[in-house]
Amino acid sequence: MFEKVLVANRGEIALRVVRACQELGVTAVAVYSEPDEFSPHVLTAEEAVPIGPASAAESYLDIDRLLEAARSTGAEAIHPGYGFLAENPEFARRVEAAGLVFIGPPAAAILAMGDKTEARARMIEASVPVVPGSAGPIATSEEARDEAGRLGYPILLKAAAGGGGKGMRIVESEAELERAFEAATREAGQAFGDPRVYMERYLTAPRHIEIQVLADSAGHTIHLGERECSIQRRHQKLIEEAPSPVIDSETRARMGDLAVAAARAVGYVGAGTVEFMYEDGEFFFLEMNTRIQVEHPVTELVTGVDLVGWQIRIAAGDELDLEVDPGWPTGHSIECRISGEDPFQGFYPSTGRVESLDVPTGPGVRWDGGIARGFEVGLHYDPLLAKLIVHAPTRGQAIVRMRRALRELQIEGIRTTQPFHLAVMDEPDFQQGRMSIRYIEDHPDLLNDGAADWQVRAATAAAVLLEEERRRTGASPGRPAVQGDSSSTSVERTAWQRAFDPR
């Protein structure tokens, strides 16, 4: 086992890796940019190294600075977390060239699965079903027109070198194709430095199902069942759960076997995720994420397997001593991503200081957070602040538990996605497991009703605050309150809590 591991990331995933290291008896080294100096992952790690200013390009994405941090602290390995450089094959190569261990798959596997057209070709060779589409990148709009005519509309243009919705366009008809093709190639070039796009048949209302895999260097590869990730906004997941409400044991085994075949086809080592689109009983390979996923906790809770711990153990040379347990999944788990965004204003980013934070506790509740009281939320990084995860014997009980946990969660100072998640927990289609990747588009009232509710509660909070301030200071309605009273903050906090606490 390693003696020291550098965690090349920030926020809740960096804290998760730090904790996994500590449970294995490994010294964790955190890195941080200037605004992250007092972040939880930095304060929890045994050692911490500054790596630059707020700009990710000059800190978390600077390979030279990360390697120097590892050398200066004597770290033997680097864990990339997710995001930033986690799926960058050049980073993996340079880590290995520096005589360090990259806690992730080989660079060749990252490269193969990072290029979507190469990944499709590998999956076809491994007999893994893929969405009907072009054999490779499409060079011109004329070629795109011919390919779309073969597939039939609607079609989906996708960036060959990336994901996350960048360089992606849905095309409903030939009249839209040329403009969409130009826009997709331009966006792909800006986002990934590679303008190539390819084409797939567009599935109108599929579910997003992914399979967790683990593989060691000795050739052992297993799957740990599926996660349902259909509730998304612009291809970014918002709520995940395990198991899926619609996948039976036979389909789970079949998808799991194909996910294992996909991992073996690229010589995969470590923890990874094979993603599928599922519609009308059919499923198709979407992509493979060559890293730990944001939603990995739901799999951990229904299997009892420490995925991050196993990542580190596999990288240190341990062989998998796990088998697919016929008892998996045990119970049901749901995860809500708590982001610094206002869901009732188009998920517009919310910034500011976390004035107070009360985290839910109790049976079956897990909080993977990267924030603390006094934490400054800015615009430099991804808005994900934390993940709230619950586990219960049944899906219905998990929904009830998540509702309770969301109501207990109190974050003051910024707006978050918390009220959106509460609205989803009460929505009948979600409760019955009826969903697709179009869930938000099909349920616009979740946002409209929530916006009105938010505005009513905000007005109530302001009215209560003004009334309490008037009574406390003796001010008349037209007279300003006395300035400089140290109790005013507590008065404001009480009013806000009364207005926004759903209990």
Distance CA(371)–CA(383), nearest Å, equals: 11
Buried/exposed 468-495: b ≥16 CB within 10 Å, e otherwise: bbeeebeeeeeeeeeeeeeebeebbeeb
Catalytic annotation present for 479: no
Q: Is the pLDDT of residue 302 over 80?
A: yes
In the chain the domains, ranked by start, together with CATH numbers, are 4-103 (3.40.50.20), 133-201 (3.30.1490.20), 204-322 (3.30.470.20), 331-443 (3.30.470.20), 457-500 (no CATH)
Of 64-73, 215-224, 455-464, give the lowest mean pLDDT range. Answer: 455-464
3-state helix, strand, coil in the chain (%, to 5): 40, 25, 35
Question: Confidence band (pLDDT; 50, 70, 90) for 192?
Answer: confident
Q: Is the pLDDT of residue 482 over 70?
A: no
CA angle 230, 234, 237 (to 5 degrees): 40
Q: Is the pLDDT of residue 496 over 50?
A: no
Mean per-residue pLDDT over the chain, rounded: 90
Distance CA(186)–CA(182), nearest Å, equals: 6
**124-138, 243-257, 481-495: range with highest mean pLDDT:** 243-257
Please, what is the end-to-end C-alpha distance for the chain in angstroms? Answer: 48
Asked if 407 and 357 count as a contact pair (C-beta separation under 8 A), the reply is no
Point out the catalytic residue in the list 65, 291, 401, 415: 291
Read off the pLDDT of each residue in 356-361 and give the average, rounded to a whole number: 97
Question: Confidence band (pLDDT; 50, 70, 90) for 477?
Answer: very low
Residue scoring higher pLDDT (48 or 473): 48
Of 2-16, 223-237, 300-314, 456-470, give the lowest mean pLDDT range. Answer: 456-470
Return the pLDDT at 456: 47
Other CB atoms within 10 Å distance of the CB of residue 135: 12
Question: Confidence band (pLDDT; 50, 70, 90) for 93?
Answer: very high
pTM of the full predicted structure?
0.85
Q: Is the pLDDT of residue 461 over 50?
A: no
Listed in sequence order, the residues at least 6 apart from 27 whose beta carbon sits closer than 8 Å to its beta carbon are 3, 4, 5, 21, 46, 47
Question: Confidence band (pLDDT; 50, 70, 90) for 156?
Answer: very high
Return the pLDDT at 471: 61
Distance CA(340)–CA(376), nearest Å, equals: 11
Return the pLDDT at 118: 87
Buried/exposed 287-317: b ≥16 CB within 10 Å, e otherwise: bbbbbbbbbbbbbbbbbebbbbbbbbbbbbe
- Provide the 3-class DSSP secondary structure of residue 133: strand
Return the pLDDT at 454: 44
- Per DSSP, helices labelled H in 328-444 are 395-408, 418-425, 428-431, 439-442
Q: Which of 367, 424, 364, 366 is nearest to 394 (CA)?
A: 364
Residue scoring higher pLDDT (497 or 39): 39
Q: Which of 317, 307, 292 is nearest to 2 (CA)?
A: 317
Distance CA(353)–CA(378), nearest Å, equals: 9
Q: Is the pLDDT of residue 503 over 50?
A: no
